[in-house]
Amino acid sequence: QVQLKESGPGLVQPSQTLSLTCTVSGFSLTSNSVHWVRQPPGKGLEWVGAIWSGGSTDYNSALKSRLSISRDTSKSQVFLKMNSLQTEDTAIYFCTRQGPYGSFHYWGQGVMVTVSS
Protein backbone atom coordinates (compact mmCIF):
# COMPACT_ATOMS: atom_id res chain seq x y z
CA GLN A 1 0.00 0.00 0.00
CA VAL A 2 1.01 3.64 -0.38
CA GLN A 3 3.19 4.92 2.45
CA LEU A 4 5.28 8.01 3.06
CA LYS A 5 7.60 8.48 6.02
CA GLU A 6 9.52 11.61 6.95
CA SER A 7 12.82 11.55 8.80
CA GLY A 8 15.31 14.13 9.96
CA PRO A 9 16.74 15.95 12.97
CA GLY A 10 14.29 17.10 15.58
CA LEU A 11 16.38 20.12 16.56
CA VAL A 12 18.21 22.57 14.33
CA GLN A 13 20.15 25.64 15.42
CA PRO A 14 19.20 29.07 14.04
CA SER A 15 20.94 29.99 10.79
CA GLN A 16 21.73 26.32 10.10
CA THR A 17 20.43 24.10 7.30
CA LEU A 18 17.54 21.66 7.65
CA SER A 19 17.72 18.36 5.79
CA LEU A 20 14.68 16.09 5.67
CA THR A 21 14.03 12.82 3.85
CA CYS A 22 10.71 11.41 2.71
CA THR A 23 10.90 7.68 2.02
CA VAL A 24 8.00 6.36 -0.02
CA SER A 25 6.67 2.90 -0.83
CA GLY A 26 3.82 1.49 -2.86
CA PHE A 27 4.29 3.87 -5.77
CA SER A 28 6.89 5.23 -8.15
CA LEU A 29 8.36 8.74 -7.92
CA THR A 30 8.64 8.85 -11.71
CA SER A 31 4.86 8.53 -12.01
CA ASN A 32 3.77 10.63 -9.04
CA SER A 33 4.50 14.08 -7.64
CA VAL A 34 5.45 14.61 -4.00
CA HIS A 35 4.94 17.80 -2.02
CA TRP A 36 6.15 19.13 1.31
CA VAL A 37 3.67 20.88 3.62
CA ARG A 38 4.47 22.30 7.05
CA GLN A 39 2.43 23.24 10.10
CA PRO A 40 3.71 25.41 12.97
CA PRO A 41 2.50 24.22 16.38
CA GLY A 42 -1.17 25.08 16.84
CA LYS A 43 -1.39 26.81 13.47
CA GLY A 44 -2.51 26.14 9.90
CA LEU A 45 -0.95 24.38 6.96
CA GLU A 46 1.56 25.93 4.56
CA TRP A 47 2.59 24.49 1.21
CA VAL A 48 6.40 24.39 1.01
CA GLY A 49 7.13 22.98 -2.42
CA ALA A 50 6.94 20.07 -4.79
CA ILE A 51 8.93 17.76 -7.01
CA TRP A 52 6.95 16.69 -10.02
CA SER A 53 6.97 13.23 -11.56
CA GLY A 54 9.27 14.48 -14.33
CA GLY A 55 11.79 15.77 -11.79
CA SER A 56 11.15 19.51 -12.02
CA THR A 57 10.40 21.51 -8.88
CA ASP A 58 8.19 24.34 -7.66
CA TYR A 59 8.58 26.28 -4.44
CA ASN A 60 6.53 28.55 -2.22
CA SER A 61 7.59 32.02 -3.33
CA ALA A 62 8.17 33.08 0.29
CA LEU A 63 10.66 30.25 0.82
CA LYS A 64 12.15 29.89 -2.64
CA SER A 65 15.48 31.57 -1.91
CA ARG A 66 16.21 29.14 0.97
CA LEU A 67 14.73 25.93 -0.37
CA SER A 68 15.79 22.95 -2.46
CA ILE A 69 13.83 19.77 -3.16
CA SER A 70 15.40 16.78 -4.89
CA ARG A 71 14.95 13.03 -5.15
CA ASP A 72 16.67 9.68 -5.58
CA THR A 73 14.27 7.51 -7.55
CA SER A 74 16.38 4.38 -7.05
CA LYS A 75 15.92 4.72 -3.29
CA SER A 76 12.34 6.05 -3.49
CA GLN A 77 13.36 9.09 -1.49
CA VAL A 78 12.57 12.79 -1.71
CA PHE A 79 14.79 15.34 0.02
CA LEU A 80 14.10 18.81 1.40
CA LYS A 81 16.90 21.22 2.22
CA MET A 82 16.19 24.62 3.73
CA ASN A 83 18.95 26.98 4.78
CA SER A 84 19.18 29.98 7.08
CA LEU A 85 16.63 28.53 9.47
CA GLN A 86 14.84 30.83 11.91
CA THR A 87 12.52 30.15 14.84
CA GLU A 88 9.55 30.79 12.52
CA ASP A 89 10.53 27.61 10.64
CA THR A 90 9.65 25.51 13.70
CA ALA A 91 6.89 23.21 12.48
CA ILE A 92 5.75 19.72 11.71
CA TYR A 93 6.94 18.92 8.17
CA PHE A 94 4.77 16.52 6.15
CA CYS A 95 5.44 14.93 2.79
CA THR A 96 2.39 14.10 0.73
CA ARG A 97 1.65 12.48 -2.60
CA GLN A 98 -0.38 14.46 -5.08
CA GLY A 99 -3.82 13.08 -5.86
CA PRO A 100 -6.62 13.91 -8.31
CA TYR A 101 -7.15 17.51 -9.39
CA GLY A 102 -4.02 18.60 -7.53
CA SER A 103 -5.18 17.46 -4.10
CA PHE A 104 -2.93 15.86 -1.48
CA HIS A 105 -3.99 12.26 -1.38
CA TYR A 106 -1.61 10.39 0.92
CA TRP A 107 0.30 11.91 3.81
CA GLY A 108 3.20 10.89 5.99
CA GLN A 109 2.94 11.11 9.78
CA GLY A 110 5.07 14.22 9.79
CA VAL A 111 8.32 15.09 11.56
CA MET A 112 8.57 17.83 14.16
CA VAL A 113 11.44 20.25 13.59
CA THR A 114 12.36 22.77 16.29
CA VAL A 115 14.67 25.66 15.50
CA SER A 116 16.38 26.68 18.72
CA SER A 117 19.81 27.28 20.15
* CB neighbours of residue 30 within 10 Å: 10
46 counts as binding another protein under rule CB under 8 A: yes
Instruction: Return the exposure string of 31-51: e unless at least 16 CB atoms fall within 10 Å of the residue's CB, then b.
Output: ebbbbbbbeeeeeeeeebbbb
Provide the minimum distance between the beta carbon of 115 and another protein in the complex, in angstroms, as a whole number: 21
Can residue 112 be called a binding residue for another protein (CB under 8 A)?
no
Q: Which is nearer to another protein, 74 or 100 (CB)?
A: 100
As measured in angstroms, the least distance from the Cβ of 43 to another protein is: 8
Q: Interface with another protein includes 113 (CB under 8 A)? A: no
Kindly tell me which residue out of 47, 57, 76, 90 binds another protein, with binding defined by CB under 8 A.
Answer: 47
Q: What stretches of 8-66 adopt beta strand conformation (E)?
A: 11-12, 18-25, 34-39, 46-51, 57-59
